[in-house]
Chains A and B, each alone.
Chain A
């Protein structure tokens, strides 16, 4: 394959323009990519508390919580103070609290499970909440029910 001098000149120009085009477009790509990334990137120090908290997970160990057995269920209580107070309650009263607040059962359901009447559940709950409140030394209202 033999090219004439004018063809050679054409090829040289083609090569030159190709090289420049490649370089130009590639640098444009790079800068665009950079800008796209900069849009999404956030400084770690500028993250809000809630965003930061999504970045890690705390391990939960069974040894960190106290377990109570109610009927066929096993209820884990993480808060030590609450667990102590619950443990001090008589078991019948404790069962009512555990079933209604940790297992989200309605009074009717609990009454059925424990085979007692609904009003008993209500009475037990009211009195045990009162007792719990006393034990935890709760000052603000409602905290003891958690």
Chain B
């Protein structure tokens, strides 16, 4: 998965997108995997402990919320908008 290293500029293959929109579980997992770093970055929150020292930690609830939202949006994605 060296693609994941630099996936800011990589795009998912068309075949995966096509399969994911029709509900293929493996394809959806591949999409989630592809956006995993981005989701982790978005879900990272700065928390402060009792001494006021900031800690970065991943908010699991937010991470799951994002994943679920992404899945629902993948399923409603239309390959050809004009349809």
Query: What is the interface of chain A, defined by CB distance below 8 A to chain B?
Result: 1, 3, 8-9, 11-16, 18-20, 22-24, 26-27, 30-31
Contacts and interface: CB of A to CB of B under 8 A. Distances in A.
A19 B73 contact: yes
A23 B12 contact: no
B11 to A, nearest CB: 4
Contacts, number: 56
Interface of B is mostly: helix
Interface in B40-58: 42-43, 45
A31 B43 CA distance: 10
A15 B69 contact: no
25 contacts: A1-B80, A3-B14, A8-B14, A11-B79, A11-B80, A12-B12, A12-B13, A12-B14, A15-B11, A16-B11, A18-B73, A19-B35, A19-B70, A19-B74, A22-B70, A22-B73, A23-B35, A23-B38, A24-B42, A26-B70, A27-B43, A27-B62, A27-B66, A30-B66, A31-B45
Contacts of A24: 42
A33 B58 CA distance: 17
